[in-house]
Amino acid sequence: MKNLILLFASLLLMTSCTQNKLAYIDVGLIMKDYEGMKAFEQHMEDETVQLRKEIESLIEPYQLKVEAYYKDVGQMSEDRRNAAELALQEEQAAINEQQDKFMKQLEVKRLEGLEAINNEISDFVKYYAKSRGLQIVFGTVGTGTVIYSEDKLNISQDVLSELNRLYGGE
């Protein structure tokens, strides 16, 4: 009997020593409700509005030239009409090129910003996990990856609250 109790105590001790400390976060929730992400999205929206204004400032004068061309086309010689059409096509191509350039610049800014936010969140989660003795923190989106866990393993709200507190303090 004494050996059985000793064996049971040993197993209990070994189990408690080898027990992993796990948690998970809902990455979708963090990205949706993180104030830093909201600020970034607003910044990108502002950039997009500015981009539209710049593109419109290129298109409006071009449209006036097209309207003038159609107004005068019946009175133009063939050479003058061909030259006007070529000039309009070249200007349209330049506008399209500028628009593509703006869109690529905007996409690069968006990707760089998302990468910075992801790195910021990852760095914070590493700090958070180490400070709480967690060995593994899983990331999931919605109901994917983690099919079941006890609610206490979901640290999403704690991480989000702390991230938002730190963001507000910057």
**pLDDT per position as a tens digit, 14-27:** 444 446 699 999 99
Over the chain, what is the mean pLDDT?
87
- Is the model's pLDDT at 9 over the cut of 60? no
> H helices then E strands: how many in the chain?
5, 2
Q: Is residue 8 part of a domain?
A: no
pLDDT value for 4: 45
Q: Is residue 48 part of a domain?
A: yes
What spatial distance separates the first Cα and last Cα of the chain, rounded to whole Å? 62
Percent of the chain beyond pLDDT 90?
Answer: 77
pLDDT value for 147: 75
Amino acid at 57: S
Give residue 142's domain range: 21-169
Domain count, the chain: 1
The pLDDT tens digits of the residues spanning 26-60 come to 999 999 999 999 999 999 999 999 999 999 999 99
**Residues, the chain, total?**
170
Q: Is residue 27 part of a domain?
A: yes
Q: Is residue 154 part of a domain?
A: yes
Q: List residues bridging with 139 in a β-sheet.
A: 25
